[in-house]
Structure 1
Amino acid sequence: MTAPRIRQRQDVEEAYTVQTRSAIEGALHGGSIGLGLSIIGHYTWPFFRRQTFQFKGFLVCTCTVFGLVIGAEQALQQYEALRRFEEDQVRKEARLYLNQRGIIPTETAIAAWRAENRK
Structure 2
Amino acid sequence: MDRARRRADADRAYNAQVQAGTIGAVRATGVGVGLAIIAHYSWPWFRRQTLAFKGFLVTGFAVFGLVTHAERALQTLEAEQRKVEGALRREARLALARKGLVATETQIEKWKAERLSR
TM-score (norm 2): 0.95
Q: Percent identity of the aligned residues?
A: 49
Q: What 5-or-longer segments of structure 1 have no aligned partner? A: none
Q: What is the total number of aligned residue pairs between the two structures?
A: 117
Q: Is residue 23 from structure 1 mapped to residue 21 from structure 2 by the alignment?
A: yes
Gaps in structure 2 of 5+ consecutive residues: none
Match of 2:96 among 82, 95, 98: 98
Superposed CA offset, 1:88-109 (max 9, x none): 1100100011111111111111
1:5 aligns with 2:3: yes
Structure 1 residue 110: Cα displacement:
0.8
- Write out per-residue CA displacement over residues 20-60 of structure 1, whole angstroms, 9 at most, x where no aligned residue: 11111111011111001001111111111111111111100
The CA deviation at 1:85 is: 0.9
Q: Detail structure 1 runs of 4+ shifted over 6 Å in the superposition.
A: none
TM-score normalized by the length of structure 1: 0.94
Which of 81, 84, 104 is the matching residue for 1:83? 81
Residue type at the aligned position of 1:66? F
Partner-residue secondary structure (3-state), 1:105: coil
Aligned equivalents of 1:11 and 1:107: distance in 2?
A: 21
2:2 and 2:97 mapped to 1: Cα distance?
A: 23
